Amino acid sequence: MIGAFVAATVVAVLQYVRSRDRRLFLLMAMFLLQAFSMSREWWDAWKDISQGAVCLAGLALVLRLGPPRASNPPA
């Protein structure tokens, strides 16, 4: 399962190279943190910390995916 998250990170990197969308950094962070937390033992405190970081990155991604702001109104 860890390999799936690493592979998803590689796909996100390739998508970033293609589109240069900075929101993909949050997605990459989520995938890498999830892979890290899955590699830890159940009693390790870093597992809980990285799971919390995954949640924060997900919330930040939701905020970044909000409706676009209209900078120039149509004429």
> For the chain, what are the domain ranges?
2-64
- pLDDT tens across 32-62, in order? 999 999 888 989 899 999 999 999 999 998 8
Residue 40 — left, alpha, or beta (φ > 0 → left; ψ -120 to 50 → alpha)? beta
d(C-alpha 55, C-alpha 65), whole Å: 15
pLDDT for 74 beyond 80: no
- pLDDT tens across 1-19, in order? 888 888 988 998 898 899 8
Buried/exposed code over 29-57 (b: 16+ C-beta within 10 A; e: otherwise): bbbbbbbbbeeeeeeeeebeebbebbeeb
Q: What is the largest CA-CA distance in the chain?
A: 60
Predicted local confidence at residue 34, as pLDDT = 92
Give the three-state DSSP class for 75. Answer: coil
